Amino acid sequence: MSVASIRLFVTGPLNPGAEFALPEAQSHYLATVLRAAVDERLRIFDGVSGEFTARITALARKSVRLAVESQTRPQEPAPDCWLCFALLKRTRTDLVVEKATELGVSVIQPIITARTQAERVNLERLASIATEAAEQCERLNVPHIRPPAPLARLMADWPADRPLFVADERRTAGLLGPARGPSALMVGPEGGFTDVELEAIARTPQVTRVSLGHRILRAETASIAGLALHLAAWP
């Protein structure tokens, strides 16, 4: 991969003419992995200011400095959609975070249910996966990844102004449609929610049960398929 094709998520705000140093990990990537050179250009974004070109002004193994040049894309509104999914085993959780980022979610909320396969995650590692996915898929921001929350607490604190679409593995509901504003999709664990959990979910006024199609999907597939259905029409 050439330096010219690289996009990096950086700490902003970004303005033409500004100069700053990259963190050690990004500096190592440019200097050692890509063997970049002074005066080469790349694209940078901060989630707020849009995307800019930047020129490498100084380069060492652990310290690379950039000069911000012109804006290539203004900041655009992103889908205000949350993904709430029961934690899975490590590689499957990684996949969900990566693909949810590519599909455009704004918040990723892992949840802990009676049948959850894991209760702990490395949030720093997941944030790194989301950042790399955003860099590669041309997103202008990175989703916020929240600490895992027990399902009961999440339901008790659910915001009154956010519709929550819950994937119905029994396939008795209508097909999930496109997002029309702030929303959230919830996907349960392998084996589904317990009856007690389903009763608690049903008591939440903002909940609508939805189908993701005619087949029984694995939990990670359901998250990806559901977001594709829900966000495909987002401008």
Burial, 68: exposed, middle or buried (Cβ in 10 Å; 0-12, 13-18, 19+)? Answer: buried
Q: Both 11 and 30 in a single domain?
A: yes
Residues 68 and 93 in one domain: no
Indicate whether 105 and 212 sit together in one domain: yes
| Full DSSP string of 178-190 | ---SSEEEEE--T
pLDDT, one tens digit per residue, over 18-39 is 999 999 999 999 999 999 999 9
Give yes or no for a contact between 46 and 15, defined as CB atoms under 8 angstroms apart.
Answer: no
In total, how many domains does the chain have?
Answer: 2
- Last residue of one domain, picked from the residues 26, 41, 73: 73
If 0-12 CB within 10 Å is exposed, 13-18 middle and 19+ buried, where does residue 44 land?
buried
pLDDT of residue 97: 98
Widest CA span in the chain: 61
Query: Domain of 176?
Result: 81-231
Which residues lie across from 8 on neighbouring strands?
A: 44
In the chain, the percentage of residues whose pLDDT exceeds 90 is: 80
Residue that has been written with the tokens 């590692």 in this structure: 125
Residue in 201, 218, 195, 169 with CA at minimum distance from that of residue 114: 195
Same domain, 161 and 138: yes
On whether the CB atoms of residues 16 and 67 are closer than 8 A, the answer is no
Give which of 39, 44, 72, 35 is closest to 56, Cα–Cα: 39
Residue 184 clears pLDDT 60, i.e. is over it:
yes
Burial class of residue 18 (count of CB atoms within 10 Å of its CB; 0-12, 13-18, 19+): middle
pLDDT (0 to 100) of residue 61: 82
For residues 1 and 228, give the distance between their C-alpha atoms in angstroms, rounded to a whole number: 28
Q: What is the pTM of this model?
A: 0.92
Check residues 215 and 187 and name the one with the higher pLDDT.
187
Nearest to 108 by CA among 90, 120, 96: 96
- Domain containing residue 105: CATH number: 3.40.1280.10
pLDDT of 107 reads 98
Q: Is 134 found in the same domain as 53?
A: no
88-132: pLDDT as tens digits: 999 999 999 999 999 999 999 999 999 997 778 899 999 999 999
CB 147 within 8 A of CB 111: no
Q: Which of 27, 55, 73 lies at the terminal end of a domain, its last residue? A: 73
In this predicted structure, what is the pLDDT of residue 235? Answer: 62
Torsional class of 131: left (φ above 0), alpha (ψ -120 to 50), beta (otherwise)? alpha
My answer on whether 144 and 175 are in the same domain is yes
HSE-CB for 228 with a 13 A CA cutoff: 10
Same-domain status, 109 and 42: no
CATH of the domain at 68: 2.40.240.20
CA-to-CA separations, 77 to 92, 139, 176, in angstroms, rounded: 29, 11, 22
Whether residues 108 and 22 fall in one domain: no
Residues 87 and 55 in one domain: no
Q: How many residues does the chain have?
A: 235
Domain end call among 47, 73, 99? 73
Element (H, E) at 98: helix 90-103
